[in-house]
Amino acid sequence: MPRTLEGQITMEKTPSYFVTKEAPARISSMSKGTKLIVVVRDPVTRAISDYTQTLSKKPDIPTFESLTFKNRTTGLIDTSWSAIQIGIYAKHLENWLLYFPIGQILFVSGERLISDPAGELGRVQDFLGLKRIITDKHFYFNKTKGFPCLKKAEGSSKPHCLGKTKGRTHPDIDQEVVQRLRDFYRPFNMKDEVMYLTRKGGCEQQPGPVDISCSLGLQY
Ligand SMILES: Nc1ncnc2c1ncn2[C@@H]1O[C@H](COP(=O)(O)OS(=O)(=O)O)[C@@H](OP(=O)(O)O)[C@H]1O
C-alpha cells in the first residue's frame, strides 16, 4: 500500500478479497480502521456472470447447468464450484465479522449501480466521509452498451463506458436450474444478518477478533 498523506484516502480494489479466508486478519493487522466496501449482486446472476467470463476464455467448458450440480438427479449443488461458492455471501461475511464491526462495512448493490449509479455512489461518498461530488450529472445511459457510462472520463472531455469484458450478454440458463439456485441461496442472503447487527450495535465497537456468538444474527 502506498503511504497515505493527510487529506488523502487510499483505495484498493480486489474482487477476491471478500471470499479469501486470510484477507480479514491481514487487513485488520495492517489497519484496524480500514473501511470495507463490498459490491454484491443477486448470487444467481453473479454465478452466471462468472460462468460467462470463463466461457469467453475457454469456450469448451461444460454447460452452466452441468457444472451447477454434483448430481443432477438428486439436485445436489456443487458448492465447490467457485461460481457457486463465491455467492454464499453470508458465510464469507462471517469471516469478516471476526475482525471488523459491521459499521465499517458498506454493501453496495450491483443492481443499483446499474439502475441508479449516482445514488449508489452517493452512499459510498457518505460512507467515506466525502462531500457528494459525483452526482447524476456525471452519468448518461448508453443505449448501445445498455449500461450507464460516464459523460466525461477522468482527465478527458470524452464519454467513457466500461470495456467489453463488462456487461457481456449472458447465455440462457434452464429456468428450473435458476430456480433451484435461488432456493439454494435464500438462507445465505445477508440482508437479515446485516440489519440485525446494525440494529444490535453490540458487535460494532471493537475491531479485532470478536466472539462470533456476538453475531447471533448469523443463523443458517
Ligand atoms: N456501467 C456499467 N457498465 C458495464 N457493466 C456494469 C456497469 N455497472 C455495473 N456493471 C456490471 O459489472 C459487472 C462486471 O463486474 P465484475 O464483477 O466482473 O467486475 S470485477 O470482477 O469486480 O472487476 C457486469 O456483469 P456482467 O453483466 O455479467 O458482465 C455488469 O453487470
Q: How many angstroms does the Cα of residue 218 sit away from the middle of ligand 1?
A: 28
Q: Is the CB of 195 under 6 A from ligand 1?
A: no
Q: Is the CB of 196 under 6 A from ligand 1?
A: no
Band (pLDDT 50/70/90 cuts) for residue 190 is confident
How high is the pLDDT of residue 213?
39
Q: At what angle do helices 175-185 and 43-57 cross, to 10 degrees?
A: 120
Band (pLDDT 50/70/90 cuts) for residue 194 is confident
Asked if residue 24 has pLDDT above 80, the reply is yes
In this prediction the ipTM stands at 0.95
In this prediction, residues 153-165 reach a mean pLDDT of 93
How high is the pLDDT of residue 3?
86
Mutation test residue for ligand 1: of 166, 168, 169, 170, the one with most atoms within 8 Å of CB: 166
Q: Percentage of residues in the chain with pLDDT exceeding 90?
A: 80
How high is the pLDDT of residue 174?
97
Q: How many angstroms does the Cα of residue 28 sit away from the middle of ligand 1?
A: 28
